[in-house]
Amino acid sequence: MSIKILTEHCSTPGIETFEVYRQKGGYVAVEKAVKKMTPEEVVEEVKKSGVRGRGGAGFPMGMKWSFLAKPEGIPRYLVCNADESEPGTFKDHYLMKTIPHLLIEGMIISSYALGANKSFIYVRGELMYVIRILEKAIEEAKAAGFLGKNILGSGYDLELIIQPGGGAYICGEETALLESLEGKRGNPRNKPPFPAVKGLYQSPTVVNNVESIATVSWIINNGGEAYAAVGVGKSTGTKLISASGHINKPGVYEIELGLSCDEFLNSDEYCGGVRTGHRLKAVVAGGSSVPIVPGALFLKNANGEDRLMSYESLSDGGFATGTMLGSGGFIAFDETACIVRNTWNFSRFYEHESCGQCSPCREGTGWMQKVLNRIEHGKGSMSDIDLLVDVSKKIEGNTICPLGDAAAWPVASAIRHFRDEFEWHIQHPLEATKAGAVYMGAVLV
């Protein structure tokens, strides 16, 4: 049985209430941090833990905190990014609805460490019931003296505000989130300046993912070194993986980073293997925006070594043969899945969610979607494949925010690994457009 840092008490009945959470050792970390530690010590502890941002980019959280500018007389803000809307990722949703106090506790400690007196949780608007749960949790914490003025008599004040978003994927990008939080149109900002210097209301701001913040209380209770001892190499700690697709046991799993991909997919503790009677065709390892890889390349890298569920191992081989851990949205496809249709589906999502600010993303996502639509519906031509590759190259890296890259990678990788399937679609439109048609030439695991 592997270590559970976030989900240890998730199955306890009533854990969403303050009393039960407190009985299980909740808010001890707040007491420890606020009474016995200085903010610098908290930051140091998080730095030692080596925990990396769980929102997708995997940037070390302690580093991010230490970059925060601290000018005199200007407030600092902590913003929790709970605008989780990547197709295939639903871990934050699960965490917030099951154990809301874990996030609240993490927010209190993190805000204390950063010297923020006002912190925000930006939750995507569709999750209204989760917002209610969080609001109730905040009320309870306030009543118990862990939030509000003069927390536990330490003289530290914190106001925690929940802001429902309007349901735009782009508002998960940190600067677009800040714009939206300020009440403006959710367009990503030009960088520099980075949020650590000029963020919310032009003040220094740290934006962290729900899962990242939720780890903080464990780190304070057990020490940064204990956290760093979990995991493998620079991928320390545990990660929530939201597993979906053609597997026997879809759901949210907490894994120790460094678990082998084979074990994650096939062991009964986690996914329970590919849908019984079927075989694995492809895997999206970290949410829809990471490159899709064939099943074989997910289990073993190009050199034949076993792949591990960690930031480094999954991206081993770069874009040619690797993928990314991303936000942990694991989607498995068996042989009945059509890669062309799936790529088109992802493209439709990115076209719909592009904010329309910079031209490569605005026009390119729509273009790719239309071409893929044509191929999927039997009206493609062979030159369309190279066209898609070229368009994705012209979007990638040339946009304001990473949404352009996120839209380009799935298309580019699907063509890189499954070109024959695209060709089959174009050459055999009558067969390919039949309901339930499956490409027979796929290499399965």
Partner 1 sequence: MEDIKPVMFKVTVDGVEVEVAPGTTIIQAARKIGPEVAPPAMCYYEPLKGSGGKCRACLVKVTAGSAKDPRPMPKLVASCITPVQDGMIVENFTSPQVVEARKGVVEFLLLNHPLDCPVCDQAGECHLQDFAFENGTSTTRYEEERRTFEKEDIGPFVQLHMTRCVLCYRCVYTADQITDGRVHGVMGRGDHAEISTYIGRAIDNDFSGNVIDVCPVGALTDKTYRFKNRVWFSKPVDAHCECDKCCGNVQLWYRGDEVIRVTARKNEWGEVTAFICNTCRFEKKKTSDWVIEGPTKVNRASVISANKYGSNFIKKPDFALKLAESQFKNIDDSRPYVNDMSEIKQSEDYKVLKQINDSYFKK
- Taking the least distance from each CB to partner 1, the nearer of 6 and 408 is 408
Q: Judged by CB under 8 A, does residue 370 bind partner 1?
A: yes
CA 391 to the chain's CA centroid: 26
- Residues 95-134 binding partner 1 (CB under 8 A) are none
Q: Judged by CB under 8 A, does residue 394 bind partner 1?
A: yes
- Taking the least distance from each CB to partner 1, the nearer of 45 and 351 is 351
Q: Which residues contact 32 (CB under 8 A, 6 or more apart)?
A: 220, 221
- Taking the least distance from each CB to partner 1, the nearer of 300 and 370 is 370
- Taking the least distance from each CB to partner 1, the nearer of 132 and 352 is 352
In the list 358, 385, 408, 432, the residue contacting partner 1 (rule: CB under 8 A) is 358
Question: What is the smallest separation between the CB atom of 353 and partner 1, expressed in angstroms?
Answer: 7
Q: Which residues contact 290 (CB under 8 A, 6 or more apart)?
A: 284, 323, 324, 325, 326, 409, 410
- Taking the least distance from each CB to partner 1, the nearer of 103 and 358 is 358
Q: What secondary structure letter does DSSP report for 435?
A: T
- Taking the least distance from each CB to partner 1, the nearer of 275 and 362 is 362
User: Could you give the angle at the alpha carbon of 188 between the alpha carbons of 184 and 194, nearest 5°?
Assistant: 110
User: Could you give the angle at the alpha carbon of 294 between the alpha carbons of 293 and 296, nearest 5°?
Assistant: 120
Question: What is the smallest separation between the CB atom of 397 and partner 1, expressed in angstroms?
Answer: 5
Question: What is the smallest separation between the CB atom of 191 and partner 1, expressed in angstroms?
Answer: 8
Strand order in the sheet with 238-245: 251-256, 238-245, 329-334, 280-284, 292-294
In the list 202, 359, 427, 433, the residue contacting partner 1 (rule: CB under 8 A) is 359
> What is the rounded distance in angstroms from the CA atom of residue 64 to the CA atom of residue 51?
11
- Taking the least distance from each CB to partner 1, the nearer of 198 and 307 is 198
Strand order in the sheet with 159-164: 159-164, 118-123, 77-82, 205-209
Residue type, 422: F
In the list 14, 233, 318, 356, the residue contacting partner 1 (rule: CB under 8 A) is 356
Count of positions on this chain that bind partner 1 (CB under 8 A): 32
Question: What is the smallest separation between the CB atom of 196 and partner 1, expressed in angstroms?
Answer: 17
Per-position x/- string for 313-352, each x denoting binding to partner 1 as judged by CB under 8 A, each - no binding = --------------------------------------xx
Q: Judged by CB under 8 A, does residue 397 bind partner 1?
A: yes
Per-position x/- string for 374-393, each x denoting binding to partner 1 as judged by CB under 8 A, each - no binding = x------------x---x--
**What is the maximum alpha-carbon separation in the chain?**
73
Question: What is the smallest separation between the CB atom of 168 and partner 1, expressed in angstroms?
Answer: 7
Q: Judged by CB under 8 A, does residue 192 bind partner 1?
A: yes
> What is the rounded distance in angstroms from the CA atom of residue 326 to the CA atom of residue 289?
8
Q: Judged by CB under 8 A, does residue 357 bind partner 1?
A: yes
Burial of 48 (0-12, 13-18, 19+ CB in 10 A): middle
Q: Judged by CB under 8 A, does residue 354 bind partner 1?
A: yes
Q: Judged by CB under 8 A, does residue 190 bind partner 1?
A: yes
Of 37-45, 56-64, 233-241, 398-406, the window that binds partner 1 (rule: CB under 8 A) is 398-406
In the list 399, 408, 421, 439, the residue contacting partner 1 (rule: CB under 8 A) is 399
In the list 81, 215, 310, 365, the residue contacting partner 1 (rule: CB under 8 A) is 365
DSSP code string of 300-340: B-TTSPBPEESHHHHTTTHHHH----TT-EEEEEETT--HH
DSSP code string of 239-308: EEEEEEESBSS-EEEEEETTEEHHHHHHSTTTT-SBSTT--EEEEE-SSTTSPEEEHHHHHB-TTSPBPE
> What is the rounded distance in angstroms from the CA atom of residue 114 to the CA atom of residue 213?
12
- Taking the least distance from each CB to partner 1, the nearer of 215 and 399 is 399
Q: Judged by CB under 8 A, does residue 244 bind partner 1?
A: no
> What is the rounded distance in angstroms from the CA atom of residue 95 to the CA atom of residue 105?
13
Question: What is the smallest separation between the CB atom of 434 and partner 1, expressed in angstroms?
Answer: 24
Q: What secondary structure letter does DSSP report for 140?
A: H
> What is the rounded distance in angstroms from the CA atom of residue 216 to the CA atom of residue 227?
10
Q: Judged by CB under 8 A, does residue 185 bind partner 1?
A: yes
* 8 Å CB contact between 307 and 299: yes
> What is the rounded distance in angstroms from the CA atom of residue 26 to the CA atom of residue 331?
33
Q: Judged by CB under 8 A, does residue 233 bind partner 1?
A: no
In the list 46, 170, 299, 415, the residue contacting partner 1 (rule: CB under 8 A) is 170
- Taking the least distance from each CB to partner 1, the nearer of 134 and 388 is 388
Judged by the rule CB under 8 A, the positions of this chain that interact with partner 1 are 168, 170, 185, 190, 192, 351-360, 362-367, 370-371, 374, 387, 391, 394-395, 397-400
